[in-house]
């Protein structure tokens, strides 16, 4: 995971550096040239011959303007003249667009490369093709074309008469169209409005992808090593700022395209090809084929054959026509609903939320972050009274010292491999009540007495009491047999332990067989009467081992039951006080916690180990220190306090970052989900609403469409 994060951080850093280098190295185009795609300065300067030819062309053109009313008109920006920046020659391969002027002059055209108006010598109209190789320079007004498709201005004045012919001869491959009867008047060239610019604006997918990447980087920073976190955080901030600037910035003057405001009479040609069965492309304004938005089709006929103002882009896309048809007003009343960015942000936020729930604990960071925002305090307590007076809250730092009882766990082990530890010293009961007494049980004492007498008789030591003849005892030992010299005592102690009828059935049956009795009550009665006293029972080794096992199993069940009952009794401390626990399972006592499970001991040893641990842990010194993560009170009035070790600065920032990221993701899901639903609904009815609006405009008698 760490290696992947490091690789991602390096790749992001390289991408940011490369993007910055490209932005820094981006060539700046002279303002007078404006913006023309594929326009780059050629690696040469203006030659002396070209400069002389240009100056002579300026003089001749100025002379013709003064002497001939039919000369080529100058642009509105003023006269042509060279400047200090005219030495740079720009070259471009592009189509040339021309517009006719409302004039009686033989050359009444204005020429454009995209949205850039250029000055073209009038006799070069015949050389205009679909794609033109053009060389131009900057003047004090508009760029001047000094070369067109191999024709240079150096040869222009020497090969052409001073007065241009009345009608230019068009070449077969020319992209220009013959003038129609109707004149088209160019009223103005303006920049598109922000609303018109928003129609063709991108759907915000790139910005949404950047914000999604920011969310993923923030998530990775919660899991990454400390050395990589600053790089991921820096990359996330850069991408967030970059994406936010592109998403919310207003379009600059440079980015908005030029719109040509024309006045003329739109007409329909009435001719349709097999590949174009619609009527939209058949409308022309003079020689310009107009391209309308598809939803305008029912309304364009109202302006056909009438003198109409039409605003178009250089690519002949219509943005406004007549009084009502206008993309600007459409965007104001019926904005374009771009919902793809909301869908992307919704999906990425949901993904990050799932990753947070799967890989990052959320409960603790949220609790501590909220507590730290509200203010935390440090509490020190050396007795229960001080703790009771303190106003404890989640997020406070607690340091408590005193004597208490380790938490008693009376439940079963968590798993088959989990040792049974009756005391859990990661939790401490702390109150003013007297310590609980040590575990005690009569049943365990009876079981211990039965085990003791059985052990003494089944495994005798060298005895000098004279009950058995020494020779007989030696003979029995040599034969491997076992002699029970006090069988009556075993019967009586078994009856004292297993006094209920259903207890120790197998052991009772074995003892009845050994005594040759009818049933268990009969041999118990004989034992009480003394009839079994003095009776010795001789056992084979196998029978002796079986009897020992039966006694061990019978006593073990009683001891385990009494041990569990004693633990349950210890697990009922006095009401009130505090139960302080460590969330991390750290021991709170001042000495090592006893190791080993009670299951490691058998029989009476379990009880003795419980007593030993109880004497040590029922009243023991402890120290609890950490951040409070949970507060609660149970039915006995005992206040439960959960502690966690005080986090370092890195952990604190991870907690705060987790809370902030979770908040951002949840808000993003809610906001983008609501916007997605609203925009989908509005987008579905947008075209219908626009057409209803236009119907009310063109047909005032109809009810006016309600703007939504």
Among 292-301, 399-408, 586-595, the range scoring the smallest mean pLDDT is 586-595
**Cβ neighbours for 468, distance < 8 A, ≥ 6 positions apart:** 483, 485, 536
The DSSP secondary-structure symbol of 702 reads S
pTM: 0.55
pLDDT given at position 67: 58
Which residue, 200, 224, 161, is CA-closest to 317? Answer: 200
pLDDT at residue 19, as a whole number:
46
Q: Give pLDDT, residue 280.
A: 44
Residue 199 has pLDDT above 70, yes or no: yes
How far apart, in whole angstroms, are the C-alpha atoms of residue 303 and residue 319? 15
Residue 127 tokens read as: 């050389």
The pLDDT of residue 668 is: 92
Whether the pLDDT of residue 29 is over 60: the answer is: no
Residue 349 pLDDT greater than 70, yes or no? yes
Please tell me the distance from the alpha carbon of residue 36 to that of residue 129, in angstroms, as a whole number. 18
Find the farthest-apart pair of alpha carbons in the chain and give their distance in angstroms, rounded.
Answer: 164
Helix (H) or strand (E) holding 134: strand 132-137
Distance CA 644, CA 363 (A): 13
E strands, 218-353, where? 258-264, 266-268, 283-285, 288-289, 308-312, 318-321, 325-326
Residue-wise pLDDT tens digits, 261-286: 888 888 876 544 444 444 444 788 77
- pLDDT, tens digit, 9 for 90 and up, residues 221-242: 888 888 888 898 889 899 888 8
Round to whole Å and give the CA distance between 135 and 120. Answer: 11
Contacting residues for 656 by C-beta, under 8 A, at least 6 apart: 365, 369, 372
DSSP 8-state code for residue 589: B
Calpha distance 183→105 (Å, rounded): 13
For the stretch 73-130, pLDDT in tens is 444 444 678 887 778 888 888 888 776 655 555 556 778 887 678 888 877 887 888 7
* The two structure tokens encoding residue 647: 């986090």
Q: How many residues does the chain have?
A: 708
Q: How far does CA 51 lie from the centroid of its chain? A: 63
Q: Which residues pair with 530 in a beta bridge?
A: none
What's the pLDDT score for residue 92? 83
pLDDT band at 159 (very low <50, low <70, confident <90, very high): low
Contact 200, 175 (CB under 8 A): no
How far apart are the C-alpha atoms of 89 and 91, rounded to whole Å? 7
Q: What percent of the chain has pLDDT over 70?
A: 76
The answer to whether residue 664 scores a pLDDT higher than 80 is: yes
Highest mean pLDDT among 332-336, 399-403, 405-409, 533-537: 399-403
Give residues with Cβ within 8 angstroms of 229, minimum separation 6. 221
Model pLDDT for residues 561-570, shown as the tens digit of each residue = 888 888 888 8
Query: Using CA atoms, how far apart are residues 309 and 320, in angstroms rounded to an integer?
Result: 8
Most confident of 108-122, 193-207, 482-496: 482-496
Render 353-405 in DSSP notation, one character per residue: HHHHHHHS--HHHHHHHHHHHH---EEEESSHHHHHHS---TT-EEEEEEEEE
Tell me the per-residue pLDDT of 428-454, one tens digit each, with 9 for 90 and over: 898 888 888 888 888 888 888 888 888
Q: Is the pLDDT of residue 342 over 60?
A: yes
């Amino acid at each position: 995971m760490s290696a992947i994060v490091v690789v991602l951080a390096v790749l992001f850093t390289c991408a940011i550096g490369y993007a910055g280098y490209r932005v820094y190295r981006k060539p700046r185009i002279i303002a007078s040239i404006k913006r023309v795609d594929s326009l780059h300065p050629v690696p040469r300067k203006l030659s002396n011959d070209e400069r002389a030819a240009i100056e002579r062309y300026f003089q001749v053109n100025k002379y013709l303007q003064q002497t001939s009313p039919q000369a080529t008109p100058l642009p509105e920006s003023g006269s042509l003249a060279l400047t200090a920046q005219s030495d740079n020659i720009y070259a471009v391969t592009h189509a040339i667009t021309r517009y006719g002027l409302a004039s009686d002059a033989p050359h009444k055209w204005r020429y454009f490369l995209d949205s850039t108006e250029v000055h073209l010598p009038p006799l070069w109209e015949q050389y205009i093709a679909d794609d033109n190789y053009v060389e131009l320079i900057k003047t004090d007004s508009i760029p001047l074309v000094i070369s067109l498709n191999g024709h240079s201005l150096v040869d222009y004045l020497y090969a052409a008469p001073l007065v241009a012919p009345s009608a230019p001869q068009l070449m077969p491959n020319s992209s220009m169209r013959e003038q129609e009867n109707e004149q088209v008047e160019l009223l103005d060239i303006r920049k598109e409005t922000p609303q018109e610019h928003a129609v063709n604006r991108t759907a915000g997918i790139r910005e949404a992808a950047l914000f999604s990447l920011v969310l993923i980087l923030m998530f990775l920073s919660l899991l990454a090593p400390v050395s990589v976190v600053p790089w991921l955080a820096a990359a996330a901030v850069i991408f967030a700022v970059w994406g936010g600037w592109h998403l919310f910035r207003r379009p600059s003057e440079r980015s908005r395209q030029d719109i040509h405001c024309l006045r003329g009479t739109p007409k329909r040609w009435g001719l349709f090809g097999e590949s174009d069965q619609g009527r939209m492309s058949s409308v022309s304004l003079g020689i310009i084929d107009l391209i309308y938005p598809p939803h305008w089709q029912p309304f364009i006929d109202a302006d056909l054959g009438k003198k109409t103002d039409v605003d178009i882009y250089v690519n002949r896309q219509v943005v406004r026509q007549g009084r009502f048809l206008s993309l600007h007003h459409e965007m104001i009343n019926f904005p374009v609903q771009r919902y793809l960015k909301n869908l992307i942000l919704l999906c990425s936020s949901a993904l990050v939320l799932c990753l947070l729930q799967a890989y990052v604990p959320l409960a603790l960071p949220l609790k501590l972050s909220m507590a730290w925002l509200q203010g935390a305090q440090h509490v020190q307590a050396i007795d229960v009274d001080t703790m009771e007076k303190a106003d404890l809250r989640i997020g406070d730092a607690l340091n408590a010292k005193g004597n208490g009882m380790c938490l008693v766990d009376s439940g079963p082990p968590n798993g088959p491999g989990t040792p049974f530890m009756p005391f859990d010293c990661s939790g401490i009961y702390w109150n003013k009540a007297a310590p609980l007494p040590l575990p005690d049980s009569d049943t365990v004492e009876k079981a211990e007495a039965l085990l003791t007498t059985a052990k003494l008789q089944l495994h005798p030591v060298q005895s000098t009491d004279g009950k058995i003849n020494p020779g007989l005892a030696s003979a029995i030992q040599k034969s491997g047999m076992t002699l029970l010299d006090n069988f009556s005592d075993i019967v009586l102690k078994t009856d004292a332990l297993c006094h209920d009828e259903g207890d120790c059935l197998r052991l009772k049956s074995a003892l009845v067989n050994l005594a040759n009795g009818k049933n268990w009550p009969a041999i118990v009665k004989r034992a009480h009467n003394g009839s079994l006293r003095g009776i010795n029972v001789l056992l084979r080794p196998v029978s002796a081992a079986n009897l020992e096992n039966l006694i061990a199993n019978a006593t073990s069940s009683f001891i385990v039951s009494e041990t569990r009952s004693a633990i349950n009794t210890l697990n009922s401390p006095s009401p009130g006080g505090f139960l302080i626990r460590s969330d991390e399972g750290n021991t709170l006592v001042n000495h090592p916690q006893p190791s080993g499970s009670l299951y490691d001991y058998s029989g009476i040893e379990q009880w003795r180990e419980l007593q030993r641990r109880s004497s040590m842990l029922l009243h023991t010194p402890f120290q609890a220190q950490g951040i409070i993560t949970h507060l609660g009170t149970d039915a006995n009035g005992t206040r439960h306090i959960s502690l966690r070790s005080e986090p370092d600065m890195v952990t604190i920032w991870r907690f705060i970052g987790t809370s902030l990221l979770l908040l951002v993701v949840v808000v993003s899901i809610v906001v983008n989900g609501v916007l997605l639903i609203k925009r989908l609904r509005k987008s579905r009815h947008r075209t219908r609403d626009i057409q209803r609006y236009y119907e009310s405009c063109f047909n005032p008698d109809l009810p006016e469409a309600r703007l939504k």
